[in-house]
Amino acid sequence: NNGTKVAIKAWRTDALEQCRYKTLKRAARELYYWSKMNHKNIHQLTGVIIFRDEYLGMVSEWMENGDLHKYLRYHPNADRHQLCLDAASGLEYMHSRNTVHGDLKAVVTPANILVSADGIARISDFDFSIMSEAGDLVFSASSNTRSGSIRWVAPEMLDGEAPKRTTESDVYALGMTMLEVFTGRVPYSDRRMDTAVILAVMQGALPTRQFQHFKDDERGNLLWSLLLDCWSRDPGERPSAGMVVEVLESCAGKT
């Protein structure tokens, strides 16, 4: 009643009916832990509500600029380097709290990086991250499958029927997300079909460097080298999110 604007993301009606009590209890506990996360680059969860006895909703702070896709469309001259640093910092914090996001992407709807009124990027769409083991929950269309997110999925995630999301797969997705932010285009934008993307990834093909966005200078070379490290085929060779932050900070002033 204080006039503060909030956002509410509700699960479909059948979510509560299909959930086992144990699963729902675990989800509630993990939502509680998420609400305790406090970082400038994490979209703040303020509570959970049940209304009409059938809808379960997550209450979060209202983000005036919407998602990063919308923000970059209306602010094409935004500091994209800083936005990438924001995303990496948020992911570093999540990983320090033993939390994996699992579906990071920025420009293409549904984007899950939001932008505050003062232009700070914050990681969102946490129903994917904290519910990774609560498989019986029925989510909205934005997060109920990996469909549409295949361009950000690490190669090891394409193997097996139930791949495990890890901090390493998050860093791979972060690299693809930074590519999005700098270029304004999806990864593998020269391939229209997801099946073609999967084939390319499994064959070891990487996105092509676009020199208009990653110039042949010290800063451009550092950034492109960082992306290549994030996309390493061996998960163990990828940098941590904290290392990504360090590299981004180190090349911020370079030309």
Domain assignments of the chain as residue spans, ordered by start: 63-250
More confident residue, 181 or 254: 181
* Alpha-carbon 152 to chain mean position: 9
Residue with tokens 């079909």: 193
For residue 110, whether the previous peptide bond is cis, meaning omega lies within 30 degrees of 0, is yes
Give the per-residue pLDDT at 252: 78
- Contact by Cβ (8 Å): 170, 177: no
User: What value does the mean pLDDT take over residues 224-242?
Assistant: 97
Q: Beta strand pairing status for 121-123 and 55-61?
A: unpaired
What is the reported pLDDT for 98? Answer: 84
Q: What is the pTM for the complete model shown? A: 0.82
pLDDT band at 84 (very low <50, low <70, confident <90, very high): very high
Least confident window among 13-22, 137-146, 156-165, 185-194:
137-146
Domain 63-250: give its CATH architecture: Orthogonal Bundle (1.10)
Query: 93-117, pLDDT tens digit by residue?
Result: 999 988 888 888 766 655 689 898 8
Q: What is the mean pLDDT of the chain?
A: 80
Given this model, what pLDDT does residue 74 score? 92
